[in-house]
Amino acid sequence: MIKWLAWIIACLLVIIICLYLFLPGNISIDRKLDATINLKTLQRGLLDENTWKQWWPGKTVDANGSTLFEYNGSIYSISDKQLSTITLSVKKDNFSTTAAINFIPRDEIHVIISGHINEDLPALPVSRIRAYLNSKTLSNDLGDILERIRQFYSNNDHIYGIHIEKALVRDSSLISTSGISKGYPNPPFIYKMINDLKAYALLHQAKQTDYPMLNVYTQDSINFLTRVALPLDKKLPSSGKIEYKWMLGGGNILVTEVKGGPGKINEAIHQVENYITDYNRTPPAISFQSLVTDRVKEPDSTKWITKLYYPVM
């Protein structure tokens, strides 16, 4: 019995020694994939740790002011953030290493996302074998993480928090007027001007073809210039403060729909402007809100429906 036990122990030692001799002293893991993502949006998303919780494939835990990311028994934490590289600290059992996630642009809408781990294995045979086995799991996990990044950030709705559509401008005849207010214009101020336009259209037997249009501008957050317009089925002459405008059709325009009051609308405006910057677009004309909901008849701003239109080149 003792001989058999000694023989088994000897065989195990031989196996461990052979594995130790044949296992490399260093591991190098490289994973790479192509993604249809704008580099600026990817950078903004990955540098914001809060967005990671939306796509991370495992659990997330908030601890001591930072976030730990758990996946397949490994614990990840963000140790460094640069414009082209995110560095992660990784721990699994007694094995720890760092992983670098890099993103390199191919063109405006394509990015190469790569993950890299390079680590020396422990000298002790059992520790080396365990670390080597863990590295094989980490290689698969790193591939999963890169794929989740691609899936999440390839969808602009996830990045901007709103659905932005590309459309073409339609030929439109408009009548327009404007007014100045101290402070942001309230609905009665806005709809007084809109009603003036409606009365003028009725006087000239013109029909409204779409919702009233609104643009608000300020340089100092005190004095606000408010422009309103009404799309009509025919051209009308200008008169006094009411001017005829023509919106040339065929150009590109970005469109999104917002439900909510000024806070929601301003956040959507900010995100559309981010989109314009990310994709290097130039606005050839002012943007405007299309007032789907009559804000005087519906005082509850959480129920307002507003469409935002941004002409772009």
Cβ contact 286:215 at 8 Å: yes
Helix extents (H) in the chain: 2-22, 39-47, 49-55, 125-153, 156-160, 187-203, 262-278
Q: 53-57, 123-127, 304-308: which has the minimum mean pLDDT?
A: 123-127
Please name every residue paired with 75 in a beta bridge, in sequence order, or none if there are none: 70, 91
Q: Is the pLDDT of residue 134 over 60?
A: yes
Say what percent of the chain tops pLDDT 70.
90
Q: List the strands of the sheet with 213-218, edge to edge.
A: 165-168, 252-259, 305-312, 288-291, 213-218, 223-232, 172-182, 243-247
Mean pLDDT calculated for residue range 146-153: 97
Mean pLDDT calculated for residue range 283-310: 96
241-267: per-residue pLDDT in tens? 999 998 888 889 999 999 999 999 999
Query: Can you give the pLDDT at residue 88?
Result: 97
Query: Can you give the pLDDT at residue 121?
Result: 73
Domains and CATH numbers, the chain: 19-158 (3.30.530.20), 165-312 (3.20.80.10)
Greater confidence (17 vs 177) lies with 177
Say what percent of the chain tops pLDDT 90.
77
- Determine the distance from the C-alpha atom of residue 8 to the mean position of all C-alpha atoms in its chain, rounded to a whole number: 59
How many residues appear in the chain?
Answer: 313
Q: Is the pLDDT of residue 57 over 70?
A: yes
The mean pLDDT of the chain is 90
Residue 282 binned pLDDT confidence (cut-offs 50, 70, 90): very high
pTM: 0.84
Query: Can you give the pLDDT at residue 245?
Result: 93
Q: Is the pLDDT of residue 285 over 80?
A: yes
Nearest by Cα to 272 from 155, 168, 110, 163: 163
Greater confidence (160 vs 6) lies with 160
Query: Can you give the pLDDT at residue 24?
Result: 64
Q: Is the pLDDT of residue 287 over 60?
A: yes
Q: Is the pLDDT of residue 126 over 80?
A: no
Q: Is the pLDDT of residue 12 over 80?
A: no
Q: 31-35, 60-64, 85-89, 148-152: which has the minimum mean pLDDT?
A: 60-64
d(CA 128, CA 104): 33
Query: Can you give the pLDDT at residue 154?
Result: 95
Residue 23 binned pLDDT confidence (cut-offs 50, 70, 90): low
Query: Can you give the pLDDT at residue 94?
Result: 78
Query: Can you give the pLDDT at residue 136?
Result: 83
Q: Which two tokens stand for residue 116?
A: 């890299």
Query: Can you give the pLDDT at residue 209?
Result: 95
Residue 119 binned pLDDT confidence (cut-offs 50, 70, 90): confident
Q: Is the pLDDT of residue 120 over 80?
A: no
Query: Can you give the pLDDT at residue 34?
Result: 96
